[in-house]
Each structure stands twice: as structure tokens, then as C-alpha cells.
Chains A and B, each alone.
Chain A
Amino acid sequence: MIRIITITIILLFILTSGCSLFIPMQKPVEPGNRLLLWLPGASSVQVLSDWNDWGGGVAAGGIVNPVSGRMEKDDNGLWTLDIAGLPGGVYRYAFYVNGYKWIRDPVNPETAVFEGRTVSIIMVAK
């Protein structure tokens, strides 16, 4: 518990110090209905989700297809995937970076669990 309190105090101190590292980056002018991830050094980023059988990882064979859910990278290091065509429902998803690393969407506050990993949730009404 002491460690948690210490880390919390350090974080609060940094957060309240007004450091420029804590000014949030601006999103694209029209983000639209897209998933976004800023990761300029990655060699590849995919979105693995319930809607694409986790890239094929839960389908017969269990191999993650390197093309499934592949995001496109722009010159600023921003990876994007258009999800406008998703049917209504609740979906879990995660970013699959460089073919071996799972990370949740850092700017989506809602989380769930898939195979022991913390992943993100998106709810599509229509």
C-alpha cells in the first residue's frame, strides 16, 4: 500500500507541475468514425477484435492474419482504421503492435478482458 501511495503522490506532483509533457496532443480535425493510435516507431499495427475473430486467432488454425484489421499510418505517425461499417453491438478490441505486442487503446477509458489481457470496448448503437 505504501508503494501505491508513493507512486500516486509522484504522479500527482508531476501532473500538477504544469509540465508541457502533459498538454494533450490534438486529434485530426475530422477523426470521423475511426480508431486512432499514435505510435510513430511501430513497424505494423493491427486492430484485433471480436468483429474480425481477433485477426483469425480464434478461428480454425489460430494464426493471426497479418492483413486482418491492418491500420494505415500517416506521415505524423498516426495509425488509423475506419470502423464506420460496423453493425450495432458491443465489441472488444486491442492494438497488435509489431506482430507480438498487445496494447489497449490508451484514449478509450472503457476496458474489458480477453484471454487475460486488458483490452478496450466499443459500443456501436446503429
Chain B
Amino acid sequence: MSISFMTMIILLAGGHDSLDVSIIPENWVFGYDCLIDASACGSWKNNHPVIDSTGIDAAVSVRAASPEVDFLVTGAMRSDSASRFLFRRARAVVKWPGTPWIAAGVYLNDQQPFIAGLANPVVEWGWVDIDSIQGFGLSSGGILGFRGDYLIQLTRGDTLTQLNVHSPWMGFAGVDYSRAQIHTADSAGGNMTVNVLSVRGDFRYFKPWLVVAGAEGEEGKWAVSAEIRKLRPIDTQWGRIEVVPGIHLAGDRIDFPGSAFVPGQRLITLGAFLESRRYFVSAGIKGMLDLESDSLSGVSASAGMISEGGVSWDVIFSYYADCDYRAFISSVTSDSNASAGIAVEIINDSTRVTGSVSYSPRDDVCAEVSVSGDLDNSLQPSCGLAVSAALGPVRGILGIDWEYDSSPILRINLTGLLK
């Protein structure tokens, strides 16, 4: 059945050009594409290259849309250790005739929950396994510029509901509300609710950003992040310096599936960022003071520049009150065909240096060699060679990676989107 369905999709996709135009209803749009990802991985054994694994992943998507309906079906065939076919993604949406901003749809492996916070998200991608999601939803929009959707989905026996409402830009502010809730099938299991209200304003002299998150049912499951933007003590045609005060508070019992908040945090931040309007240069420094435990207190800084001489600089430094520190310094000099660079990464007591050179014989081909090693007695050298080519929608990579005390690994990867 799987093979016949795949054949049907390919025939339907491949038959696009042969379709009698007269059978296509007016106002309908048909489209298809095929995303192919082929890879092979091998090693060097007994003076011979040996292929250890191969895999071909082909996904064919067929779309049909009209003012009233929107269909998308993606079927995939994966060939690694065992060839198999699966529905990867499907969507069928019906829009209310005459009012296309009101719609209802059925989804398979689509509509993954994600809720942004300030910097890091409150709900991160991958909270639930995307391959397990199936369900249906309603969406609407257009009423005074508001738009929203409600989804009820099933994921591995648990029920996931999502509600998202987005306001239009109201001249000085925009508001988003998101709610994600999981009801576990096991009555003894824990249910989880995340409510997130995000407000972004833009006034003459400052821009407030506010994210309020909370869960229901128990105390201590709340969090607040706020930052004031657009405070620019220096603002010229050359560039500006922006000072950003912020506060990040969270209850002791939060368990949001993202990295925006840490349980019990009482964090005050103050950042200063330099951005140039006319030149490729920036710098920033941010101090963090954790009033509760000091574990998040620290300072981080970053700077970057591209010089007239063709040198890219990138510096990142972080230091925390518990004496953890990390520094990364990278410098790459480039011209139209070749580049050479060095990067130093320091994480507490370990320092790793990476040198790289690349050559580009033509615009769409690049070959790069990199060598790295630790600056201690172990050295742990490694090196890699990668040749990449991008020809329109097709990209190919040939790579060899070697690490100390192990066999070289060969990689070949070809990815393309055919329409």
C-alpha cells in the first residue's frame, strides 16, 4: 500500500505537465516539489575506503490550493538499513467561502508548538515529537487585523492543544497570546499548561518588551521577562549605542519546555550595544546579576567587524560568578577566491585552536581544510576537508574528517529541491 501510494504521488507530481488544462478548475493552483537528501558515510580501513552506511531520503510534496481549499501532502521514502515509506506531513484546510480568513483544517505532523520569549524561547522546538502530531484546528483572521488559531492534536496518546492570537500593530503596540497544554493519557501523569502573553511597544523614546508566562493549578509556576529598548544616549548617522535594562523573574516550580526561564531566578540585566548604520562593526556587553543564588550572575560581551582589508573578526566572551568562563575569538581574511582563518575557543581549562583555509575556484564551489588541536599535553588533533558545490537548488558536499586515534570518516551528501 505504501509503495502504491508513493507511486501515486510521483505519478501525480510527474504528470503535472501532461494534465489537460481544461480539467483544472479556474482559480486553482497546483504545485509539487521533491526534496532529496542522499548521503553516504564510510571509513578508511586496511588502506581501503569502506562504505559503512548509505541513506536516501526523498520527500515529495503535492499542493493544491484555491480560494476555498488548501491541500498539502508530503510523502517520504527513506532508504537506509530498511527501505520504508511514510506519510511525512499532510494538511487539508477549508476556507469559508467569501471570507478566506476563516478556516478549518486537519493536520498530520504539522503545526509544531513553539513560543518565543525574549532571546530564548519559552517553548522550544521539539517539545513534542513532530512525527507524532496529528489533529485538527480552526483559524481566523482579518477581524480588525487580529488573527488566531486553535488546534487540538494527539501526540503519542497525549492530547496537545494550542491557542495562538496575534494582534495587528496598533500604532504603538502589538500583543501576542499563546497557550499550549498537554493532557497526558495516564491519569497519574502530569499535565502541563503554558500561557504566554507577549507585549511589544514602540513609543517615541523607548520600546518596552514584556513576556509573561504562567502555568495553571499550582503556585510558583509563573515567569516574567521585561526589557526596555530604544534608550539611545548616542544616536548619530554613523551608528548608535543602545542601553537595554531588563529583568527576568521566575517562580520556583516552573517547568516550561524552553530555556527562557530558570526556576527561581531573580535576574537583573543591563546591556549596552553598539551598532553602526554605515559600517560592518558592532559590539555589546551585558551584565547579569542574580539576586537569588548568584548562579546566573556574570558578564558577557561580543564584538564583530569586517574590515576594509577583508578581515572578519568575531569575539565572544562570557564569565559567570561561579568562575565558569568561555571565550571565542575568530579572525578570517578573505578575498574573492580564497580565505584563511584562525579561531581560538577557551572553555574553562581547555583551549582549542582551529586553523582553516578555503579556496573557491568558481562562485558555486568551495573547498575548505581545517585543522584543530587542544593547547595542552593531550593535543587531541583533528582535521577536516570539505568540498561543497551549490548548483541552483542542488547542493553537494564531499567531506573527510579525522580525529586523533580513530579512522578517517568519509562523508558524501547531496541535497536538492526539484520543482
- A interface residues (Cβ-Cβ under 8 A, vs B): 3-4, 7, 11, 20-27, 31, 36, 38-44, 50, 53-54, 56, 58-61, 63-67, 73, 77, 87-92, 98-100, 103-113, 118, 121, 123, 125-126
A103 to B284 CA separation, bound complex (whole angstroms): 18
Instruction: Indicate if B282 sits at the interface (CB-CB under 8 A).
Output: yes
Complex Cα–Cα for A24 and B274 (A): 14
Contact between A106 and B118, CB atoms less than 8 A apart:
no
Once A61-B57, A106-B312, A106-B313 are accepted as A-B contacts, the answer to whether A125 and B117 lie under 8 Å apart by CB is no
Shortest Cβ distance from residue A5 to the other chain B in the assembled complex, whole angstroms: 11
Contact B363 A107 (CB under 8 A): no
Contact A60 B131 (CB under 8 A): yes
A90 B390 Cβ-Cβ under 8 A: no
Q: Which of B89, B281, B346 contacts A107 (CB 8 A)?
A: B281
Interface size on B, residues (CB 8 A): 98
Shortest C-beta distance, A75 to chain B (Å), equals 9
Give chain B's interface residues, CB within 8 Å of chain A.
35, 37, 57, 59, 74, 76, 88-89, 109-110, 112, 114, 116-121, 125-126, 130-131, 166, 169, 174, 176, 198, 200-202, 207, 209, 229, 259, 271, 273-284, 300, 302-316, 325, 327-329, 334-339, 344, 346, 351, 358-360, 363-366, 368, 375, 386, 388-390, 393-395, 397, 399, 413, 415-417
**Knowing A41-B337, A43-B365, A118-B316 touch, does A108 contact B57 (C-beta < 8 A)?**
no
B174 touches A126 (CB 8 A): yes
Q: Is the CB of A109 within 8 A of B273?
A: yes
**Residue pair B306, A125 in contact (C-beta under 8 Å):** no
Known: A44-B388, A58-B130. A77 touches B281 (CB 8 A): no
A3 and B388 alpha carbons, distance in the complex (Å): 35
Q: Write 25 A-B pairs (CB below 8 A) sorted by A numbering.
A: A7-B327, A20-B307, A21-B309, A24-B281, A38-B306, A40-B337, A41-B339, A43-B360, A43-B365, A43-B366, A44-B388, A44-B395, A50-B121, A60-B74, A61-B88, A63-B57, A67-B393, A88-B200, A90-B117, A90-B119, A99-B388, A99-B390, A113-B259, A118-B328, A123-B200
